[in-house]
Structure 1
Amino acid sequence: MTTFVWIVIPYACLAVFVLGHIWRWRHDQFGWTTHTSQLLESRILRLGSPLFHLGAFGVIAGHAMGLLVPVTLTEALGIPEGLYHGVAVWGGTLTGAMLVAGLVLLIARRFVNGRVRRTTTTMDKVLYAALAAMVVLGMTATVGINLLGHGYDYRETIAVWFRSVFWFSPRTQLMAGAPLVYQLHAIGGFLFLALWPFTRLVHVWSAPLAYLWRPYVVYRARRGAPPVPVPAPAVVRDRRAADGQSLV
């Protein structure tokens, strides 16, 4: 069971993540978009989307710092463990709160606004459910254990296991004593990667930098552009009749 959970599942999810993106690009390039619904509702989106995206980028940066930067490097740079821990916990709490607020607004928008709800696909619902589960587990670990609880040094266990997966020498024994919420969050992260290629999240690989502070598409008319004349129905009929076209 340990081998399946901490070796088979991570590598299977990484394979689906890579191959799924290749398949999606080759077979669904027209669907490689945000599927924005800004034209249907923009008031909640204007607040929820920046909160969600800025919070998400902060959370991703915090995970990268915690999982990819070994303790030996921070010690070599002279960064005390207490300082590192404080920045990680409070930074994770702040960006996590932004992410939660943005996600709640975006989910509420999907179900409160009728027009947006009708454009919400089954995969959108799966994505929002997966995001909500990951956020709940992450905030429970950050706030419940590290901020308000007794704390847990994931850098000596989970982070080492995570890096060992990419070195193709997974150290599964390091996950045995990790708290359950951390175990669920870790395996949930890999399952989320497997889901990624089949959702609207693929747009992040094509998003411009401006997406950080304006994470939605703005539609506007060009200033000074001359209006496009629209022929009257009678004129259209006369033209079609003159050309011998069918009016049916």
Structure 2
Amino acid sequence: MNVSGTDLLLWVAFPYICLAVFAVGHVWRYRHDQFGWTSHTSQLLEHRWLRWGSPLFHLGAFMVIAGHVVGLAVPASWTEGAGISEHAYHTTAVWAGSVAGAVMVTGLGMLSARRLLARRIRLGTDRSDKLLFPLLSATVLLGIAATTAHNVFGDGYDYRSTVSVWFRGLFTLQPEPEAITGAPLLFQLHALTACLLFATWPFTRLVHVWSMPIGYLVRPYLVYRSRSTASPRPGRRTLRPHGRADATGFTASDRS
């Protein structure tokens, strides 16, 4: 099959550029912006929408990522060797992916609505979020649209024989652009927006996924002592703060 220059640009050069930006961008961000390496939480500004939107989004995202790892990185011959037929895999992947996508879209929709409707959060939205949220939404919605159109209501499309082959070829340094050029347009658009998402990843709040607070599980408890109960040193005058101290030892006058 003949591959045009446009195909080489879209399915070879562009993905490698995005992966290079992904790798170099993370190094740059870590060395020059460690204080910004956070999720930039706005829980103190609004928590009702966040209480439901954030868990739904993260749960759905983990399920979607796991499904993509199996579907793109694991060849069909491996699952068949494990005793999973192609029909069983296809049925499970479609319905599990649909549920995961619906959960993720619900959470993402709540977070996006929260950012648009809550004035204080909208005013605090930085430029990276204005790029991240639309791009992430487009990637997720295109993936759901491709699955729905071709695998739920369509005759079924085996992306593991086209998109997966192209994806694995990028990492084995044996790109096969011809494998994805015959894929449906929705799958191609989903792949391109995913590449863009990887390129913008280091410069957005998505970097916080590499800083999971696992240490909190084994970190010893922090002991807070109230300032009002501290015993004064002998012969030293103790200054009482104005107002009643709370459990952290801070008073209303300390916070003002």
1 CA distance for matches of 2:105 and 2:153?
A: 18
Aligned to 1:136: 141
Q: Does 1:73 align with 2:48?
A: no
2:164 match: 159
Q: List structure 1 runs of 4+ shifted beyond 2 angstroms.
A: 208-211, 222-225, 227-232
Indicate the SS of the match to 2:132: helix
- Displacement after TM superposition at 1:68 (Å): 0.6
Q: Which amino acid aligns with 1:133?
A: A
Partner of 1:190: 195
* Fraction of identical pairs, as percent: 54
CA deviation after TM superposition for structure 1 residue 225, in Å: 3.9
Q: Kindly tell me: are residues 225 and 144 of structure 1, through their superposed partners in 2, closer, same or farther at Cα, counting changes over 3 Å?
A: farther
Across the aligned residues of Structure 1 and Structure 2, the Cα RMSD in angstroms comes to 1.8
Residue 57 in 1 paired to residue 62 in 2?
A: yes
Structure 2: runs of 5+ lacking an equivalent: 1-5, 217-221, 229-238, 243-256
Distance 1:56 1:230, change over 3 A: farther
Aligned: 1:172 with 2:185: no
Please give the per-residue CA displacement for 1:162-218, whole angstroms capped at 9, x wherever unaligned.
Answer: 00111111011111210000011112111110000000000100013599xxxxxxx
Q: What is the CA–CA distance in structure 2 between the aligned matches of 1:187 and 1:147, rounded to whole Å? A: 22
For residue 226 of structure 1, what is the amino acid of its counterpart? S
Aligned to 1:21: 26
In the alignment of these two chains, the number of paired residues is 222
Give yes or no for the alignment of 1:123 onto 2:123. Answer: no
Higher relative contact order (CA 8 A, sep 6+): 1
Larger proportion of helix: 1
Whole-angstrom distance in 2 between the partners of 1:230 and 1:27: 43
* 1:200-239 → structure 2 map (5 Å cutoff): 200-208=205-213, 225-227=225-227, 231=241
| 1:9 and 2:14 are equivalent in the alignment | yes
Q: Which is worse superposed, 222-231 or 199-208?
A: 222-231
Match of 1:149 among 129, 142, 154: 154
Deviations 1:25-76 (A, max 9, x none): 0000000001110011111101000000000000000000100110111111
CA distance in 2, matches of 1:168, 1:224: 55
Q: Which AA in structure 1 matches 2:12?
A: I
Return closer, same or farther for 1:31/1:153 CA change in 2, 3 Å cut-off.
same
Instruction: Please give the alpha-carbon distance, in whole angstroms, between the structure 1 residues aligned to 2:215 and 2:102.
Output: 22
